[in-house]
Structure 1
Amino acid sequence: MAAEFDTNHVKNIVLLGHAGSGKTSLAESMLYEAGVINRRGTIPLKNTVGDYHELEQERGNSIFSKLMHSRWRGYKINIIDTPGYDDFVGEVISALRVADTGVMLLNASMGVEVGTDITWQYTEQFKTPMIFAVNQLDHDKSDFDKTVQQARDHFGTKVVMVQYPLQQGAGFHEIVDLLRMTVYKFRDAGGKPEKLPIPDSEREKADRLHKELVEAVASNDETLMEHYFDKGELDEDEMKDGLKKAMINHDLFPLFCLSAERNMGSGRLMGFIDNVCPAANEMPPQVTRRGKPLPCDANGPVCLFVYKTVSEPHVGELSFFKVYSGTVRSGMELVNETTNVSEKISQLFILEGNRRTNVNELTAGDIGATLKLRNTHVNNTLHEKGRDIELESIAFPPPNMSMAIEPVNKGEEEKLAQALHQLVEEDATVIVEISPELKQTIIHCQGDMHLAVIRWKIEHYSKIEVKFLKPRIAYRETIRKGADAQYRHKKQSGGAGQFGEVHMRIEPWFEGMPEPAGLNVRGRETHELPWGGKLIYYNCIVGGAIDTRFLPSILKGVMEKMQEGPLTGSFVRDIRVSVFDGKMHPVDSNDISFKLAGLQAFRQAFRQADPQLLEPIYNLSVMCPDELTGSVMGDLQTRRAIVEGMESEGHFTRIIAKVPFAEMHEYSSALRSLTQGRAKFRLTFDNYSPVPYELQKKLTEDYSRQAVAEEV
């Protein structure tokens, strides 16, 4: 059986916006308008198609992206509803990767919020054609004009009004459509509106805004500009063509009016999506890793891209994909370009939230899912045999939060490891690190809400009770001055003995420093350390006091001690070691003797060389509303942060600072509490810097006490 919709009649949209902007309610209204459901669910009643997951119903907001679809006037509209909190940004990015149009919802009472700004950065990265929809115009505090102005302040004059409301607040029920020059009048229950002429009182405003819309469309196309100059107007078909081209080029962003909860305006938005928004084959073709274009053609080679995986209890792993070329049919065998493993597409599904419907085939441009691809993961490309096609991967953002995790009950470590592996398979923004240095398993994620979801999944799906702990800090140790030391290792207990004596100088290393003073340099080695920094190792032996064959053993002893510095047991970095004298025994000297002598000489010299503890410093970028800047700054001062600057971005302020990682524990929770969830932040590693004297003293004393306790 052929696919129900061809490539030209499949539209893929992603619903975007800050938490609370009404994405899930809009999806519900769109499904209702299309007849997919016969009753609209609501978030308070926990019965929407989108937020079906028990965790979402418990928390009252979207956490995972959901694939749904509607049939509307001969078109199939695939709808991906996404979460609004930045903690779940991975769900947003993966959805944007496969969508051909984004619908950015703006809360009419809140305007452009921080989450909107952050999401917008990704839409620009993907060059996704965008529609703005000002939602909740029936809210008592809605302010359409202010919201539009903020949108233009943030996203430029490319934001063009296609509609505006005749009234706002509880009385909202009429929308002026500037493309069709019609008023849509809705009943209180919403649904299909009555079409009325624009009243005389609005004619001047509507004509002016219509002219602005026409000029904006014409200015992006020379042919249309000529027509506009000739006729002083563009007809509806010319407007549709012009809008589509401008949207594809990211030159115009049409703006619509909605009350998604009361189902006012969603039908007109759907009409615009199927009439104007581009299908996948009208977008620029995908480019493979080899730089070759891959046209979205149903008759081309079969190629699909996996953008999301979900593990469902009692079902298995569900892989979501977009068909970028060809027509995929159930029973096909495709090759995973990344793993080079053949995968059989046993079943194909289209989805309505958690409801799956079997189909026989999906054509280029469509989005669907399949089960039990054993060796296929997010970012993998599947294609027909004999081809060499690999599409560009999704680049996910780095984590913002780290926590150590361990099972409450001993003996469940392996079970927890399996659960964490499954988490990483499903969520590419989760990184699990088993750190030999810190002797902890660390989860790196996007924030405290993200961490709460991770805990819920482990405890509900894997039935493991876990606890989160403050992660240890990966300190580094170095020195501030030079020191000489010598150590003789001597052991005699019957048979062959051990003997080795090493004289060593250590100095703090920095780029461009002069050669060791007063020593006869015979050889130099530079070692880039796995944990960062360098060890510069000099052979300054004269007169054969130590045979050169023992120098690698001395180095091995130094390196061993550098993995457990004397201050806190942390890695040592940026040291210059010069071995300049020593003694050996013709019979008892061997590699182990000189390794131990080198280790102890280094240890003694290090303690005399004014040791310095270093801590990781991170770049911090906080975006917050202007009126909350003072609170955020005050909190940063308590975290030893150095504020380097502030930048104004619309009605937001971006604070740029450097902050010790040790002070960022639970910052996600603190920032959310300070700003009612209206601020976002990003952390990236910068460098290692000296720890303040009092803190170094405390950390060193704590380490010494712990070492004594462990010996007892």
Structure 2
Amino acid sequence: MKIYDDKHIKNVVFVGAHNSGKTTLAETMLFEAGLINRRGTVENKNTVSDYHDIEHERGNSIFATPLHTEWRNYKINIIDTPGLDDFIGEIISSIRVADTIVTVLNAQHGVEVGAEIIWNYIDKYHKPTLFVINQIDHINAKFEESFKSIKNLVGNNAVQIQYPVVIDGSQCIVDVLKMKMYKFSPEGGKPEKLEIPDDQKEWAKELNNELIEKAAENDETLLELFFEKGTLNEDEMRQGIKAGMLNHELFPVFCVSALNDMGTGRLMGFIDNVAPAAADLKPEQSMDGKEVKALKESPTALFIFKTVYQPNLGQITFFKVMSGEVRLNDKLINSRNDETEVINQLFIMDGKERQPVNRLTVGDIGATLKLKYTETNDTLASPKLPLTIKPIKFPQARIKKAVFAVNTKDEEKLSEALKKIHNQDPTVNISFSSEAKQLILACQGELHLATIDWTLKNIYGVEARFEKPKIAFRETIQRSSASNYRHKKQSGGSGQFAEVHLKIEPWDENMEEPQGFNIRGKEEIDLSWGGKLVFYNCIVGGVIDLRYLPSIMKGVLEVMEEGPLTGSYIRDVRVMVYDGKMHSVDSNDISFKIAGAHAFKEAFMNANPKLLEPVLELIVKVPEEMVGNVMTDLQARRSMIQGIENNNNYQVLKCLTPEAEMHGFSTDLRSLTQGRATFKSSFSSYQPVPTNVQKELVSH
């Protein structure tokens, strides 16, 4: 196939809410350009982008799918993304490598929840963005309301390039950049290009003037020209629109009917002529702060933004050429692990179809197969230019589940499969809790979890079970207590004998040394699970030999690793060993370890033991009108509201919430707010469990 230079490559990503028509628009653009002979549909499960079995089964996009089309000597790389924020990782990685974001809206609904959430990421990356209001010919289409919803989202810098109108029963689009009207037949396709009718001229001219002013605002030379002439020609307007898009201060709005192929050719023409290319954007940044300029003459650097595992092919690695060119058989260094990868195969991907190429130039998007050491977010670079491009920051997980293989023989197979799933989708995190002895899977939501379950079953052949994870409680004491224990065992020959007297107290950072003891030695142990054990030798008169003190402490630590209340770790205790007895023949290390453990356990149970629970700092961003319901839910989860801040039309709630109460929160929050609220959490501290909750936990 033809190889395009960097000035004739445009990378766009289609984002938007579920059912906005992104996949249909991509399909129509490929058809318009003649790359496919027949348009597939989502319903018939034969579109180029939604080709995975699970997408056919569920009837919606789950993976971001790279495609390409060619239009008037330009190559347009398209990434069609899912519309559900459970798959936000697919969306974010696509936004990261796109030059222009195309936000597709359903004309019946305007800006929906999905588009609103995605906009936060677009805004964060400061990427050039245009909006496409789709399904303008639907009986329930509301173009003006949809446009207003865009302005509510991005402000007054949303500007109409087009608007729809029906004339004599025919669907038409008035274009105020070209000041022409396009009239479509019911079958769509190539329109009839007409003058704007008299009854539309005044409104079209008003929008044209607004577009001229917005275009002029973004370029000082154009602004001077505008003041001088009072207007701008079409080429000057294009220049100003492009500058505004690059500044993230102008958002053109188009209208189409993707299903009936109306307006897609004009949209592709705008992407060709106006939408920024990679070379127009600010240079990428490496981890050490250096600029990675999009120059063909520079050494090669590829950024891996996506990996997919297919049983018949193995791993497919998708990349964007950030600098230089990549050719077949190039040897590149992975900056994360210093491994050398050989590019044995090079493709342009259109869904599942692979088109082999010999090289790809800077700014282009491609794929390769069977790399051995490379994952999503890695950089492959020429040995002449060792660098690491700043990785994608993926959002934290919203739900956690303990995961088990239904067949215990498949535990290792399950672990390996989950590692591969994580490599493909970094929003899936896998960890092993040694404390709970559980494999923990963290992901974005229930739908995301269902997809992982499907993948395990159908791709990797592993049946999995998901459960609520165990909470990592801690045990401690609230008052002092003394105890002693004599261990005596005689079974012929030498026996076992040890007697230990000790006192325990709650420990905190600022407390004074113990009173009434002759302190001979002190050891502070920072426990791996948090908190401290402070161990004092207060033995007088040599009643216990010094060499047995480590064994007593070992016995104490063994109990602390599995506390008497719930089997949880014990923390923040100090122990004073002040008396005891030993036998010249029968005493040994094991005897003192056993005696120390029993004495500590008894003292612990008499020291008003208390359960501590992990408490999270929870930040919830909620639409103003929904705050009441969310606060009621949070209070039912024993949350303590620490503060509320305004953020545009949202309220940001900051609270402390027990981790044990977070189960189901993501799903409930989505339900309470129609998916409009977001949250993030982080560990704050361990706090005492309420008495009634402790009784229930201990009784189990």
TM range (shorter): over 0.9
For residue 579 of structure 1, report the CA deviation from its aligned partner. Answer: 3.8
CA contact (8 A) 2:299 2:384 kept: no
Query: Which secondary structure state, in structure 2, belongs to the residue aligned with residue 411 of structure 1?
Result: helix
Deviation, 1:194, is 2.4
Structure 1: which amino acid aligns with 2:596? G
For residue 200 of structure 1, what is the aligned residue in structure 2? Answer: 198
Q: AA paired with 1:148? A: F
Distance in 2 between residues matched to 1:145 and 1:581, nearest whole Å: 86
Matches of 2:429 and 2:62 in 1, distance apart? 18
In structure 2, what is the Cα distance between the partners aligned to 1:534 and 1:202?
78
What does residue 71 of structure 2 align with? 72
Quick check: 1:86–1:680 contact (8 Å CA) kept in 2? no
The offset of 1:125, in angstroms, is 2.8
| Of 353, 356, 359, the match for 1:358 | 356
What is the alpha-carbon distance in structure 2 between the residues aligned to residue 514 and residue 421 of structure 1? Answer: 49
Q: Which range moves more in the overlay, 614-623 or 410-419?
A: 614-623
What residue in structure 1 maps to residue 334 of structure 2? 336
Corresponding residue number in structure 2 for 1:132? 131
The aligned length equals 700
| Counterparts of residues 298-313 of structure 1 (less than 5 Å) | 298-313=296-311
Aligned to 1:705: none
CA contact (8 A) 1:25 1:42 kept: yes
Report the Cα offset of residue 178 of structure 1: 2.5
Partners of 1:485 and 1:437 lie apart in 2 by: 28
Amino acid at match of 1:385: P
Tell me which moved more, 32-41 or 549-558. 549-558
1:229 to 227, 230, 234: 227
Contact 1:397 1:429 in 2 (8 A): yes
Q: Tell me which amino acid in the other structure corresponds to 1:338.
A: R
| Aligned-residue offset at 1:224 | 1.8
Match of 1:292 among 286, 290, 293: 290
Q: Is the 8 A contact 1:165 1:172 kept in 2?
A: no
* Cα shift readout 1:486-541 (whole Å, capped 9, x = no counterpart): 33444454565544444433333334334334445565544433323333444555
What's the CA shift for 1:102?
A: 0.9
Q: Decide whether the 8 Å contact of 2:215 with 2:239 is kept in 1.
A: no
Equivalent of 2:557, from 546, 554, 559? 559
Moved more, 110-119 or 493-502: 493-502
- 2:529 is aligned with what amino acid? W
Measure how far apart 1:115 and its partner are.
2.1
Residue 399 of structure 1 deviates from its aligned partner by: 1.1
Matches of 1:275 and 1:205, distance apart in 2: 25
2:514 is matched with which residue?
516
Q: Hey, what's the Cα distance between the residues in 1 that align with 2:635 and 2:680?
A: 17
Give the Cα–Cα distance (whole angstroms) in 1 for the partners of residues 654 and 169 of structure 2.
44
Q: Distance in 2 between matches of 1:466 and 1:8?
A: 49
Q: Deviations over 1:61-102 (max 9, x none)?
A: 110110000001111111011111111111111112211111
SS in structure 2 of the partner of residue 398 of structure 1: coil
Q: Please, which runs of 5 or more residues in structure 1 have no aligned partner?
A: 703-712
Deviation at 1:198, TM superposition (A): 2.8
How far apart are 1:58 and its partner, in Å?
1.2
Change beyond 3 A, Cα 1:177–1:643:
farther
Residues 132-171 of structure 1 correspond to what in structure 2 (within 5 A)?
132-166=131-165
Cα distance in 2 for partners of 1:404, 1:345 equals 38
- Output one character per residue of 1:551-596: Cα deviation in whole Å (capped at 9) or x when no partner: 4443333322222111111122233334444445556554444433
Question: Deviation digits for residues 461-482 of structure 1, max 9, x if unmatched?
Answer: 2222222222222222222223
Q: Deviations over 1:20-64 (max 9, x none)?
A: 222111111211121111222221121111111111111111101
Identify the residue that residue 398 of structure 2 maps to in structure 1: 400
Partner of residue 526, structure 2 = 528
Where does 1:378-457 land on structure 2 (aligned, <5 Å)? 378-457=376-455
Distance 2:325 2:475 in 1: 59
Please state how far the C-alpha of 1:370 moved relative to its aligned partner. Answer: 0.5
Contact conserved, 2:170 with 2:183, CA < 8 A, in 1? no
Paired amino acid for 1:434: F
Instruction: Please state if 1:8 is matched with 2:7.
Output: yes
The answer to whether the aligner puts 1:123 opposite 2:122 as a matched pair is yes
Paired residues of 2:113 and 2:675 also in contact (CA < 8 A):
no
- Describe the superposition over 1:647-694 as per-residue Cα deviations: whole angstroms up to 9, x where unpaired: 666666665554433333344444555566565554443333332322
Q: Could you tell me which residue of structure 1 aligns to residue 615 of structure 2?
A: 617
Q: RMSD between aligned alpha carbons?
A: 2.8
- 2:16 matches 1:39: no
What is aligned with 1:347? Answer: 345
For 1:30, the equivalent position in structure 2 comes to 29
Find the residue that maps to 1:173 and give its secondary structure. strand
**2:74 pairs with 1:60:** no
Larger deviation, residues 512-521 vs 360-369 = 512-521
1:81 aligned partner, one-letter code: D
Quote the Cα distance in structure 2 between the aligned partners of 1:75 and 1:541. Answer: 86
Distance in 2 (CA, whole Å) between partners of 1:661 and 1:696 is: 15
- Out of 503-512 and 370-379, give the one that drifted further: 503-512
* Segment of structure 1 superposing worse, 186-195 or 393-402: 186-195
Pair 532,242 (structure 1): closer, same or farther in 2 beyond 3 Å: farther
User: Which structure 2 residues correspond to residues 242-261 of structure 1 after superposition, within 5 A?
Assistant: 242-261=240-259
How far apart in 2 are the matches of 1:229 and 1:58?
Answer: 58
- Preserved CA contact (<8 Å) 1:150 1:650: no
Residue type of the partner of 1:392? Answer: K
Q: Is the 8 A contact 1:68 1:351 kept in 2?
A: yes
Distance apart, 1:360 and its partner CA: 0.7
Contact 1:153/1:650 (8 A) holds in 2: no
Q: Check if 1:81 corresponds to 2:64.
A: no
- Evaluate the alpha carbon distance shift between residue 586 and residue 58 of structure 1 in structure 2; reply closer, same or farther with a 3 A threshold: same
What corresponds to 1:710 in structure 2? none
SS of corresponding position for 1:274: helix
Please list every run of 5 or more consecutive structure 2 residues that lacks an aligned counterpart in the other structure: none
Supply the AA of the counterpart residue of 1:95: S
Moved more, 56-65 or 131-140: 131-140
Residues 579 and 384 of structure 1, relative CA distance in 2, 3 Å threshold:
same
Report the CA distance shift for 1:158/1:194 in structure 2 as closer, same or farther (over 3 A): same
C-alpha deviations, 1:345-369, integer Å up to 9, x for none?
1110101111111111111111111
**1:114 corresponds to:** 113
Q: Is the CA contact 1:113–1:678 (under 8 Å) kept in the aligned structure 2?
A: no
Matched residue SS, 1:151: helix
* TM superposition shift of 1:645: 6.0
Deviation sequence 1:167-220 (CA, Å, 0-9, x none): 69x978222322222222222222222233333333333333322222222223
Letter in 2 for 1:270: M
Query: 2:212 matched to 1:214?
Result: yes
Aligned-partner Cα distance in 2 for 1:477–1:285: 53
Distance between the aligned counterparts of 1:370 and 1:628, measured in 2?
A: 47
Deviates further, 227-236 or 463-472? 463-472
Aligned position for 2:176: 178
SS at match of 2:371: coil
**1:281 maps to which residue?**
279
Q: CA 1:595–1:218 in structure 2 vs 1: closer, same or farther (change >3 Å)?
A: farther
| Distance in structure 1 (CA, Å) of the matches to 2:123 and 2:518 | 60
1:518–1:321 CA distance, 2 compared to 1 (3 A): same
User: In 1, distance between residues paired with 2:522 and 2:164?
Assistant: 76
Mapped partners of 1:558, 1:687: distance in 2 = 24
Q: Structure 1 residues 497, 54: closer, same or farther in 2, change over 3 A?
A: same
Residues 114 and 623 of structure 1 are in contact (CA less than 8 Å); yes or no, is this contact kept in structure 2? no
CA distance in 2, matches of 1:72, 1:680: 39
Contact 1:138 1:172 in 2 (8 A): no
Equivalent of residue 483 in structure 2, options 485, 499, 513: 485
Distance 1:120 1:530 in 2: 41
Q: What's the offset of the Cα at 1:111?
A: 2.8
Q: Distance in 2 between matches of 1:80 and 1:615?
A: 44
CA distance in 2, matches of 1:90, 1:565: 40
Contact 1:162 1:179 in 2 (8 A): yes
| Aligned partner of residue 412 in structure 1, secondary structure | helix
Q: Which moved more, 1:461-470 or 1:359-368?
A: 461-470
Shift of 1:419: 1.8
Q: Identify the range of structure 1 (195-204 vs 436-445) with the bigger mean alpha-carbon deviation.
A: 195-204
Report % sequence identity. Answer: 53
